[in-house]
Amino acid sequence: MGMLLLFSCHSSQQKPSKLRIGQFMFTDRPVKIIFTKDGESTLQQQLKYTELTDYQSINSGTYTVEVKAENQSLLKKKVGIGNSGVYTLMLYGILQENPTTNEKTSKTKLHEIVEGEEATMPNGNLPQFKILNDEFECGKDEAKIRWVHLAAGVEEISAVATSDKKTVSLSSLTYPKVSKTKALLPLQQKVNWKLKGSKVNVAQEQLAIQSQKLYTCFIMGIEGKYIDSLKVVTGETPKKKF
């Protein structure tokens, strides 16, 4: 069935979590994501490539998450949703012809999935999903930003955010890793991504940064322009109020 992804939050009161879903798996087919709990479907979402949903409420507990394309099961795993959390489930990889459920390459080993960039395996660019923890801390007059390299087959990419006040390096990543969060001033920011060793931008995003928010930039390929130009999908997460 796959590995258990468990995020826990200690509280005496059961509060629902918030979850959004990003369909960043390279395919021209619509993809359906189904959450099942105790044998009943509790959430279904059909998405096209590059779509990112809004946050929606989901109760804590253990779910079976199945990902399908044209009734073909691509992924099926158990997922633990904690109490009062904030999460993004992101699909990535490249959909192959005649796929099998939870397909893995011979080199891929099971790794414990943790927040950060170290523990994500490329799995030969085959379809995968990962849950990101979207909770964050920041100062009163700042925001946070992170980005995710989801352009399967594209080499290492570096990112820089520039404002009128300063320039902030946002890490250099290989597929399919997630950067650590960096603080940004609440100003107009231009974020540029470049291939390693290149001076030419492969992606660019203008962001009007607001304080007390986390900005997550997902970088992925564009059909017909896969290497020369990459697409940016940015999601915003307000700081959780306790």
Residues linked to residue 214 through DSSP beta bridges, in sequence order: 144, 237
Q: How many of the other CB atoms lie within 10 Å of CB of 60? A: 19
Q: List the chain pLDDT tens, one digit each, 242 residues.
A: 333 344 444 444 678 999 999 999 999 999 999 999 999 999 999 999 999 999 999 999 999 999 999 989 999 999 999 999 999 999 999 998 877 888 775 554 444 334 444 346 678 799 999 999 999 999 999 999 999 999 998 999 999 999 999 999 999 999 999 999 999 999 999 999 999 889 999 999 999 999 999 999 999 998 776 667 899 999 999 998 76
What homologous superfamily is domain 5-133 in, according to CATH?
Immunoglobulins (2.60.40.10)
> CA 44, CA 41: separation in Å to the nearest integer?
7
Question: What is the model's pTM?
Answer: 0.88
Distance CA 241, CA 100 (A): 42
Please work out, in degrees rounded to the nearest 5, the angle formed at the alpha carbon of residue 105 by the alpha carbons of 100 and 110: 100
The residues that bridge with 148 in the sheet, in sequence order, are 178, 218
Residue 135, classed as helix, strand or coil, is: coil
Retrieve residue 123's tokens: 């799995």
Name which of 110, 65, 56, 117 is nearest 87 in CA terms. 56
Question: Left if phi > 0, otherwise alpha if psi is -120 to 50, otherwise beta: which for 28?
Answer: alpha
Q: Is 27 left (phi over 0), alpha (psi -120 to 50) or beta?
A: beta
Q: Do 5-133 and 143-238 have matching folds?
A: yes
* Selection from 220, 1, 212, 240 nearest residue 101 by Cα: 1
Would you kindly state where each structural domain of the chain is located, as residue ranges? 5-133, 143-238
CATH of 143-238, one of 3.10.20.30, 2.60.40.2890, 3.30.1120.10, 1.10.260.30: 2.60.40.2890
